[in-house]
């Protein structure tokens, strides 16, 4: 019965959250993702710490993820991810989707802005799969907050992925274990054209178009400056 109810909820949310895609929709999502980063980093006491920013290998943003439930909870969202290349640049955005469900005393629907920071090679390798589950293929933990927090001593940094969420509504926080993350091919095709290769995007082998600038620039703004300062301290 749980599986039947969960399947019905996920289908209902997906119909609501994933309408037919076009390039304008994909571009708007990138712009929204940039705004999420700006708003998150605009409050120093509740932003991503410098020690996390400097170690990040990939950054994914899912603006307005739909989270809803009645006894059974469901999550659906579309966003974009960019990865740091070996040259220190950020790759063209690759679009992703997140889908999952949970069982518990829940009721209501809300939208959650979600940022996932991939901290090590295992997390990145999970991302490169066609489909991976948070908590199973890659560990996920709520990220530490505060620009100058001593996050390096926090046990959460043992996780492959750190999650940051902003929610308003009937739920507090977000549970991600068991949620599936996979390439959003419809959005990739709408934004880049039908011949784009998802792995080429995250590997940095595709030049980002101008429409991707707001998102890539936002990631570069917050993640590059800290890394450069720390590299200088190490003599790199």
Does the pLDDT value for residue 89 go beyond 60? yes
Does the pLDDT value for residue 18 go beyond 80? no
- Among 150-159, 182-191, 193-202, the range scoring the smallest mean pLDDT is 150-159
Residue showing tokens 């949310």 = 13
Domain limits at 73? 2-233
Beta carbons within 8 Å of 31's beta carbon, 6+ residues apart: 214, 215
Total domains in the chain come to 1
Provide the pLDDT confidence category of residue 1 given band limits of 50, 70 and 90.
very low
Beta carbons within 8 Å of 78's beta carbon, 6+ residues apart: 17, 18, 29, 62, 95, 96, 97, 98, 184, 187
Provide the pLDDT confidence category of residue 226 given band limits of 50, 70 and 90.
low
Q: Which two tokens stand for residue 220?
A: 């570069």
């Amino acid at each position: 019965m749980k599986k039947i109810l969960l399947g019905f909820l996920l289908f209902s949310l997906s119909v609501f959250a994933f309408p037919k895609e076009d390039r304008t929709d994909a571009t708007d999502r990138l712009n929204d993702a940039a705004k999420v980063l700006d708003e998150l980093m605009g409050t120093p006491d509740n932003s991503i710490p410098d020690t996390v920013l400097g170690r990040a290998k990939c950054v994914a943003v899912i603006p307005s993820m739909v989270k809803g439930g009645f006894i059974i909870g469901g999550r659906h969202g579309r966003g974009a991810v960019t990865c740091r290349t070996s040259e220190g640049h950020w790759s063209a955005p690759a679009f992703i989707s997140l889908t999952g469900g949970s069982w518990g005393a829940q009721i209501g629907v809300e939208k959650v802005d979600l940022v996932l920071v991939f901290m090590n090679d295992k997390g990145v390798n999970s991302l490169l799969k066609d489909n991976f589950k948070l908590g199973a293929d890659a560990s996920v933990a709520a990220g530490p907050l505060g620009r100058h927090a001593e996050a390096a001593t926090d046990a959460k940094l043992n996780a492959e992925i750190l999650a940051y969420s902003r929610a308003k509504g009937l739920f507090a926080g977000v549970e991600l274990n068991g949620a599936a993350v996979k390439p959003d091919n419809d959005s990739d095709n709408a934004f880049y054209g039908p011949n784009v290769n998802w792995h080429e995007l995250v590997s940095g082998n595709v030049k980002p178009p101008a429409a991707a600038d707001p998102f890539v620039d936002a990631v570069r703004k917050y993640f590059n400056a800290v890394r450069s300062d720390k590299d200088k301290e190490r003599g790199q």
